[in-house]
Amino acid sequence: MSQEKTTITNSTSFALAVKVKDYFQLIKFTLSFMVVFSTVVSFLIAPNELLYVRSKVISVLLLFMGGMLVTGSANAINQVLEKTTDALMKRTAKRPVASGRMSVNEATAFAIIAGAAGIFILGYWFNYQSALVGLFSLFLYGFIYTPLKKVNSIAVLVGAIPGALPCLIGWVAATDNFGIGGWILFGIQFLWQFPHFWAIAWLAHQDYTNAGFKLLPGDKGPTKFTALQTIIYSAMMIPFGLLPYFAGITDSGTRGIICTAILFICNLWMVYVSVLLFRNMDIKSARKVMFSSYFYLMVVLLALFVGRA
């Protein structure tokens, strides 16, 4: 009897672990964490009037929770709508909905509940403006960007908007207004997404093509035109990297100057790896752009946090 109980307990624990893993895949936890990280950092960079009357720790935790729920909801909607195409691609075939481990109804129910809970947290604890931006971001990503990926490569431009709105959400949640600082942070993350996403689309081009996605700017796949676009957007990031200092987002003294220098170096590096992609036109160079973009965002956000005014 004791052995049977142990077996049942082990089976239950295993099933629970599998279900938790499926939900982590459903919300794309790593991607969602990066998105919410930018929200929290933007919140802490902004002039945090709310923190004078509310607990800083509780506010950050609730912002993180609300952001994860909204982002997770958007990713769940994405996987429900792309169930068939995900099953066609090697990199996404094992996702819970695409593989059949999770039903469409279960994923849909989660998306509705998580999205509603996340929007409620933003609106109740912070302000209705941040909640509305969160709702708009969720709608744009789930119901406009997702189906548009099969229509035209302009989907990348559309998708870059909800991809950058987390910065604005964090700023608005802190200040209760759509200040210039929030838009500058939005612009930095908006431009960053083009070299980042095109590098991913370059590496997974065959998979995306098999699924019918049109994500690269050129009609003929990974071409010089795509690499040139990557250089252009990376170069546009250079002047945007100077704006936090001149707009007073960062300290006007030594910390602000060091922060600006770090942003400038990071932007130059993105231009450099994009030029390498243009010259070499190979997978290795595309992978370098992709990994550089991951490090870029983390370093830039941390530099802005340390150098904040």
pLDDT, position 4: 56
State both tokens at 94: 């094992």
Q: Does domain 18-176 have CATH number 3.30.750.210?
A: no
222: left (phi over 0), alpha (psi -120 to 50) or beta: beta
Note the Cα 89 to chain centre separation in Å: 21
CA 51 → CA 35, 95, 132, 244, 308, distances in Å? 22, 39, 21, 22, 16
Q: What is the DSSP string of 94-152?
A: TSHHHHTSS-HHHHHHHHHHHHHHHHHHIIIII-HHHHHHHHHHHHIIIIIIHHHTTT-
CATH number of 179-309: 1.20.120
| Local structure of 220: helix, strand or coil | coil
| Local structure of 204: helix, strand or coil | coil
Residue positions counted in the chain: 309
Tens of pLDDT along 57-89? 889 999 999 999 999 999 999 999 999 888 888
pTM given for the model: 0.90
pLDDT, position 9: 55
Residues in the chain predicted with pLDDT less than 50, given as ranges, are 52-53
**Sign of torsion over alpha carbons 208, 210, 211, 212:** positive
**CA dist., res. 191 & res. 188, Å (int):** 6
Tens of pLDDT along 86-128? 888 888 888 999 988 989 999 999 999 999 999 999 999 999 9
Query: Where do the domains of the chain lie?
Result: 18-176, 179-309
pLDDT, position 208: 85
**CA dist., res. 226 & res. 202, Å (int):** 9
Classify burial at 87, counting beta carbons within 10 Å of its beta carbon; exposed 0-12, middle 13-18, buried 19 or more: middle
Terminal alpha carbon distance of the chain: 65
**CA dist., res. 8 & res. 15, Å (int):** 10
Note the Cα 248 to chain centre separation in Å: 25
Alpha-helical regions (H) of the chain: 2-26, 29-45, 56-81, 83-88, 96-99, 104-121, 128-139, 146-148, 155-175, 180-203, 205-211, 224-246, 254-280, 283-306
**CA dist., res. 79 & res. 115, Å (int):** 15
